[in-house]
Structure 1
Amino acid sequence: MNINNRVAFITGASSGIGKAIAKKLSETGCKVILASRDLKKLNALKNELVGESIVVEVDVSQTESVAKAFKKARVAFGKIDILINSAGVMPLTYLKNRHLDEWLQTIEVNVKGCLRCIHAALPSMISNKQGHIINISSVDGKEFYKGGAIYGASKSAIIALSKAMRMELSPDYNIRVTCIEPGTVDTNLRDSITDEELLNDKDYDNEDEPKLNANNIADAVLYALNQPENVNVNELLIKPTNKQ
């Protein structure tokens, strides 16, 4: 598939995996919509890109915000060919410590945010009888651990959602769906953890911990997008080589 001149909407584009994906797709000739809450970081990223791009402010936890962002994208480019659901939060917490607001925010962003963006992107893809939706899940959606119950549940939901999406959207509308499940990636995602007991139990500052970098995930996205039209890469589980 030639993705040159395809229009890609990328959530969470201001940092980490989303930022790396935006750079990679811009280099390949995609027209890129950079979406996140942080306009300052998005504008700085836009200045680094080689291809055509626009910046849209979006809070994926708010339905109206998502709708406005996609409307701006359609006005600018007329369509959405590719949706990258990369926005996410990871405030790990032990259940016994009852961080309810963080639990609900995790579901609001990681699950409902994904649904809001899919809802907004589908009309263009269905109308054009083509598209590719890439959901960034996590290995934590398959491999569970203490402190990761809510985050793992949110990422399990995305894995299940992606499978069901393929059943409904691929045969009738030629919309491909890929779920990418990274292991530990060297980003600031863990910075949102506030559970002091969990932080004392875990050594998140261990510089020897095997990690992927965000470009590894961007390469996986490009691999999935570049397959021929008759090929749908359903899932990609990616781990650091030296980590079980």
Structure 2
Amino acid sequence: MSANLESNITGKVVVVTGASSGLGEATARHLAAKGARLVLAARRIDRLEALVAEIVAAGGQAIAVQTDVTVKADADAMIAAAVKAFGRVDVLVNNAGLMAIAPMSATKVDEWDRMIDINIKGVLYGIAAALPVFEAQGSGQFVNISSIAGRKVFSPGGTVYSGTKFAVSAISEGLRHEVGGKIRVTVISPGVVDSELRHGSSDPDALKGLEDFYQIAIPANAIARAIAYAVEQPADVDVSEIAVRPTLQDF
């Protein structure tokens, strides 16, 4: 049974945002090893190209597309590049994210704006770019990365971040209901995972707190495996939500 399911990943065209590090990078490696054809998107093109070279050297297929998910034209170009290279898109992993932890009283409005732009608008731009392709194909899957903080408000400090991740969950559920039938929508909600996400704060006290909190972090590959599980299911099975956290995490 598991071998048959794994074959459901082979040949699928998977677009991954935020693929230059952390969860996105781990997901790219994991899915490439299972035979997926990867379109890797992020701002740091040098890191993307190095990852593509690694995947290709191992016998996989991947391309890099320099992408800022906060720019709609970039999101459109990312999906267009996938279609040009591989003829279709089967999965979009909306992974790019920013976590800027600080108390509300610090009024770091620029960071609030940036989290809204990346975590919410970046997901929406990806959906807007891929949905017409999915509808034309009659198939497709969105995998949107939310957070445990999108299930329970992470405060003090993570109030705005939680707000953006609650939005991802709400948008995903509404999207799932609207597209129905042939297009799948999955929300992955990671807990404390080893990635660059912890470095997004400019508040020194928050950074120190996060360093302590992240002592229990699990590897990014734990999330990659969860994504693979959702992607490899038969077309009539929609894994709507998966929460993955360290066993030691009580939040």
TM-score after normalising by structure 2:
0.92
RMSD (CA atoms):
1.4
Residue 109 of structure 2 is aligned to residue 100 of structure 1: yes
Q: Distance in 1 between matches of 2:200 and 2:9?
A: 34
After TM superposition, give the deviation of residue 189 of structure 1 in Å.
Answer: 0.9
After TM superposition, give the deviation of residue 240 of structure 1 in Å.
Answer: 0.3
After TM superposition, give the deviation of residue 69 of structure 1 in Å.
Answer: 2.1
Contact 2:198–2:211 (Cα < 8 Å) also in 1: no
What SS does structure 1 have at the residue aligned with 2:216? coil
What SS does structure 2 have at the residue aligned with 1:243? coil
Q: How does 1:46-195 map to 2 (within 5 A)?
A: 46-49=52-55, 50=58, 51-144=60-153, 145-171=155-181, 174-195=182-203
Name which of structure 1's ranges 17-26 and 206-215 shifts more when overlaid on structure 2.
206-215
Name which of structure 1's ranges 132-141 and 45-54 shifts more when overlaid on structure 2.
45-54
Provide, for residues 106-138 of structure 1, a one-character-per-residue CA deviation record: whole Å limited to 9, x for no partner: 000000000001111111110111111100100
Q: Structure 1: which 4+ aligned runs deviate by more than 6 Å?
A: none
How many correspondences in the alignment? Answer: 240
Letter in 1 for 2:193: V
Q: Which runs of 5+ in 2 are unaligned?
A: none
After TM superposition, give the deviation of residue 48 of structure 1 in Å.
Answer: 1.4
The structure where helix makes up a greater share of residues is: 2
Structure 1 residues 207, 197: closer, same or farther in 2, change over 3 A?
closer
After TM superposition, give the deviation of residue 199 of structure 1 in Å.
Answer: 3.6
What SS does structure 2 have at the residue aligned with 1:80? coil
Q: Distance in 2 between matches of 1:57 and 1:208?
A: 29
After TM superposition, give the deviation of residue 208 of structure 1 in Å.
Answer: 7.6
Please name the residue that 1:21 is paired with.
27
Q: Distance in 2 between matches of 1:208 and 1:163?
A: 29
What SS does structure 2 have at the residue aligned with 1:236? strand
Q: Which runs of 5+ in 1 are unaligned?
A: none
Contact 2:14–2:37 (Cα < 8 Å) also in 1: yes
Contact 2:52–2:63 (Cα < 8 Å) also in 1: yes
Letter in 2 for 1:64: A
